[in-house]
């Protein structure tokens, strides 16, 4: 019985003000509150509200047979609370149906797993508490930021008690094997892996509105037919994508909502097909093979590696400067300062610095609020210089060696 496993990632970063060299030491806030609010209002109206309503309708229409999985970053939850509390309530309504699973991830949507296991564990613990408090779930499944995965990351995730993890079904690690099976990581005892079927996922997430695509316009009958041809060739079809695909990346006038409204019924009409959450799929199907991933992979760009965030010297320099602040943040041990530092870790800041070309470059350019990658790098490094200055001054002040003209403390959530 092939099972369809829809997984949606819900994320918005806290965006940075344009922060010039002369702003360093000025006490200016880092957060671009007007832009954050405007983006949330736009995406809530185009995606979150209509899509949540549609999913709730589909669960009810199909008697609970339509199931799917979400992961909400801590940064998007904070912005829901600040700018769109009704959207957060609509996610809670979906949770109450019993047909929706919520996964854990790093609370700040960071790539901390690559830099500090202690920081990674702390962020995951914070996210777990949110899932329990907001949705009444204690997640047993995990997705790392951007589906970043390696054997080393898998061991950290298993040590945190998770039973299932998601990652990309990258061709270079599968080596001809199907992404539609449950796998086990190397050197883990219990953790299971569910993989993204990237071609079928990207048909919805990226190609749906492309008029030059031979399959355009894609309808639910056609897509269900593609799925039906996979019967007998795999157990789990992992359709993983950004939730903002619906209405934001693929606008309503592309027919994306009508496609999703029709698809569950078409799939459930196929013999032996059903929908499962991530944990249900991992529990139902046996592990087929152990998979070795010594070098990290991700779901980004053609390479499916870390180059979207660590592919050039600007990105590496920015990450090094950011994580060099960690000992000072720990020494200060201030909740507002720690929150600011974690939001500076959000992977989007480094994604904006990418200098990739061709189709991958087009995708990066679609998401960035900056004119050039260098603008993103310069702005971020000015913020880091200011942040480090604040940390050093506050620590000197605490030790009694600072002057009285203290720099004002600013957190990323402080209003302008």
Give catalytic residue positions. Answer: 146
- In terms of Cα–Cα distance, which of 226, 236, 242, 143 is closest to 197? 236
Instruction: Starting at the earlier edge strand, list the strands of the sheet with 141-143.
Output: 141-143, 164-168, 192-196, 182-185, 287-291
Give the Cβ contact number of residue 23 at 10 Å.
18
Q: Do 76 and 87 form a contact (C-beta atoms < 8 A)? A: no
Phi and psi at residue 3, to the nearest 5°: -115, 140
Q: Do 7 and 239 form a contact (C-beta atoms < 8 A)? A: yes
Q: Is 122 exposed, middle or buried (0-12, 13-18, 19+ CB in 10 A)?
A: middle
Tokens matching residue 170: 């990258």
Quote the CA–CA distance of 399 and 343 in Å, as a whole number: 27
Quote the CA–CA distance of 81 and 367 in Å, as a whole number: 23
Phi and psi at residue 99, to the nearest 5°: -105, 5
Quote the CA–CA distance of 322 and 341 in Å, as a whole number: 8
Residues 6+ apart with CB under 8 A from 369: 15, 35, 352
Q: Is 371 exposed, middle or buried (0-12, 13-18, 19+ CB in 10 A)?
A: exposed
Q: Is 6 exposed, middle or buried (0-12, 13-18, 19+ CB in 10 A)?
A: buried
């Amino acid at each position: 019985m092939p099972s369809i496993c829809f997984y949606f990632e819900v994320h918005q970063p806290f965006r940075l003000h344009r922060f010039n060299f002369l702003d360093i030491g000025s006490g200016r806030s880092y957060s671009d509150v007007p832009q954050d609010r405007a983006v949330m209002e736009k995406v809530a109206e185009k995606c979150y509200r209509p899509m949540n309503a549609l999913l709730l309708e589909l669960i009810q229409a199909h008697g609970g047979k339509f199931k799917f999985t979400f992961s909400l970053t801590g940064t998007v939850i904070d912005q829901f609370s600040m700018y769109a509390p009704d959207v957060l309530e609509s996610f809670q309504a979906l949770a109450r149906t019993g047909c929706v699973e919520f996964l854990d991830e790093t609370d700040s949507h960071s790539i901390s797993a690559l830099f500090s296991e202690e920081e990674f564990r702390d962020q995951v613990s914070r996210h777990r508490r949110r899932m329990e408090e907001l949705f009444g779930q204690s997640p047993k499944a995990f997705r790392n930021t951007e589906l970043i995965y390696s054997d080393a990351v898998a061991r950290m995730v298993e040590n945190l008690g998770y039973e299932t993890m998601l990652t990309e079904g990258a061709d270079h690690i599968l080596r001809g094997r199907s992404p539609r099976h449950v796998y086990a990581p190397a050197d883990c005892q219990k953790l299971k892996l569910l993989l993204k079927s990237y071609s079928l996922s990207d048909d919805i997430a990226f190609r749906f509105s492309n008029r030059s695509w031979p399959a355009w316009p894609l309808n639910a009958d056609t897509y269900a037919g593609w799925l039906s041809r996979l019967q007998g060739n795999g157990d789990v079809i992992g359709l993983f994508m950004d939730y903002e695909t619906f209405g934001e990346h693929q606008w309503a006038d592309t027919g994306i909502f009508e496609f999703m409204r029709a698809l569950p019924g078409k799939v459930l009409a196929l013999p032996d097909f059903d929908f499962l959450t991530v944990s249900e799929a991992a529990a139902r199907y046996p592990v087929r093979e152990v998979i070795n991933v010594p070098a990290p992979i991700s779901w980004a760009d053609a390479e499916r590696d870390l180059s979207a965030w660590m592919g050039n010297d600007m990105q590496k320099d920015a990450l090094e400067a950011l994580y060099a602040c960690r000992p000072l943040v720990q020494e200060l041990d201030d909740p507002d300062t720690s929150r600011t530092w974690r939001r500076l870790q959000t992977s989007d800041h480094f994604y904006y610095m990418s200098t990739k070309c061709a189709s991958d470059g087009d995708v990066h350019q679609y998401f960035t609020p900056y004119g050039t990658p260098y603008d993103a790098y310069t702005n971020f490094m000015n913020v880091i210089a200011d942040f480090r200055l604040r940390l050093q001054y506050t620590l000197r002040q605490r030790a009694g060696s600072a002057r009285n003209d203290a720099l004002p403390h600013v957190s990323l959530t402080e209003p302008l």
